[in-house]
Amino acid sequence: MAFAMRLQEGTMIVDGRLTMVVVPSKALEAARSPEKADHLTGAVVDYVNEIQSVGVYTAGELPAVAIQAYHADYYLSQVYNGGHSQFIGNTGLEMLPTTSGDALAGLKAMGASAQHQILQEMIAWVEAHPGEAALQTGFENRAAALSALDRRFFAAERQQPMTQLAARWIASWPELHAVAQEQYSSEIEGLAQLNPHLSHRLIWRSVHHISFQMTDNLQLTVAAVCGAVKPDPELKVMVLPGFDTDVEGQQCTAFGVRTNKGSRLCVFDEAGGRLYELATRPMIVGARLSTVGTDTIQNFLRIAEQNFAAEAIDLLLRKLSLGPTAAITALSVSDDRASWCVVTGETSVLVETFGDRAQVIGSDGELVLTVMRDEIERHAADAAVGRDSLKDRP
């Protein structure tokens, strides 16, 4: 009822920002006990993550207090896990001013004066030592000055824990809206629907996810080597972090890969890619399954771009009422077409992209669905509107 009334009042978005932070009532009630303060701070973190996922809002479109609390909690978590060195390394120098600025505002508002002073000193140190700051990871090259700040931070935490201060501050927000757990999802969905850019941003997000797999050199190489396995292609599920290892007597950069057949290893270099069987305990590189050269990979890239393959695949999935979050395997390519296996959820579909159309082929080889170039271009234009609505927004 309260949510519906606020909707009618037309005050849910003011100056481009949402004016409501939704949390479960049980989190607010639990936080009345100091030892359970993290229930409420965690609920705000969950809200920020959820509303950005469901509503595709940017940080600058959410209540300022929510982002301040979110980044203050992030700062706390990073320092506890790996010190100020890890906070700098995981945030990155590009995002550090914004993230630290939000955290500082939150620390000031909640009354965490000691932690606020420490973070200010960390920012001053970064500005004075940009080269050393760029090397921080929380592990190697840990700066002595930052370790000193860590010790002061933990002493301040023993004196006055941030989380308790944050919970008291959050509970005082006029933006706070506590609801029963069973209402939480519908409240988030209601707020999501208020985003005037929602439909275009959802298209852009899913198109971008597919496009990344077709244009990023590593992702496309893995997609191609999986598709080149004979007699049956393997379907790419996930690309894992890379590492240096010995493969066939040579030191190589390799990446773990999960396919529908299990664990694999992809060697990725200037010549292209190679896929191998892999035993993980202990790690033993097995037989080579496929090899794909850079010429083939570049051909896939060329066709993907000129045929709007990502936009076409996203459009086809939507028409088939399938989830737009898809894993792409590159199967074959020629001068004017490419074929891709698209896995979404438990479903896989074969898609062919041409210059004038894209189509889904069924398991029996019959045509299932076709979309023509003009419709694909309109879908691409909708995605571009979503992309542009995110530009210059924090």
Tell me the pLDDT tens digit for each residue of 148-159. 999 999 999 999
Taking 80 as the threshold, does the pLDDT of residue 360 lie above it? yes
* Cα(375)–Cα(316) distance, integer angstroms: 11
Percent of all residues in the chain with a pLDDT value above 90, rounded to a whole number? 90
Sheet strand arrangement including 272-280: 236-247, 250-259, 262-269, 272-280, 283-293
Is the Cβ–Cβ distance between 303 and 353 less than 8 Å? Answer: yes
Q: What is the pLDDT of residue 11?
A: 65
Taking 80 as the threshold, does the pLDDT of residue 197 lie above it? yes
Q: What is the pLDDT of residue 141?
A: 81
Q: What is the pLDDT of residue 16?
A: 87
Q: Taken in order 364, 220, 203, 234, is the CA torsion positive or negative?
A: positive
Percent of all residues in the chain with a pLDDT value above 70, rounded to a whole number? 96
Q: Which residues of 180-216 are buried (b: 16+ CB within 10 A; e: fewer)?
A: eeeebeebbebbbeebebbebbbbbbbbebbbebbbe
Structure confidence by residue, pLDDT tens digits, 305-346 = 999 999 999 999 999 999 888 999 999 999 999 999 999 999
Taking 60 as the threshold, does the pLDDT of residue 8 lie above it? no
Q: What is the pLDDT of residue 391?
A: 86
Is the Cβ–Cβ distance between 273 and 222 less than 8 Å? Answer: yes
Read off the pLDDT of each residue in 183-206 and give the average, rounded to a whole number. Answer: 96
pLDDT band at 4 (very low <50, low <70, confident <90, very high): very low
Query: Mean pLDDT for the chain?
Result: 94
Q: What is the pLDDT of residue 301?
A: 97
Amino acid sitting at position 46: D
Q: What is the pLDDT of residue 157?
A: 97
**Where do the structural domains in the chain lie, given as residue ranges?**
2-195, 220-296, 298-390
pLDDT band at 78 (very low <50, low <70, confident <90, very high): very high
pLDDT band at 198 (very low <50, low <70, confident <90, very high): very high
Structure confidence by residue, pLDDT tens digits, 10-53 = 468 888 899 999 999 999 999 999 999 999 999 999 999 999 99
Read off the pLDDT of each residue in 177-202 and give the average, rounded to a whole number. Answer: 96
Amino acid sitting at position 394: P
User: Is the domain defined by 2-195 classed in CATH 1.20.1420.60?
Assistant: yes
Taking 90 as the threshold, does the pLDDT of residue 280 lie above it? no
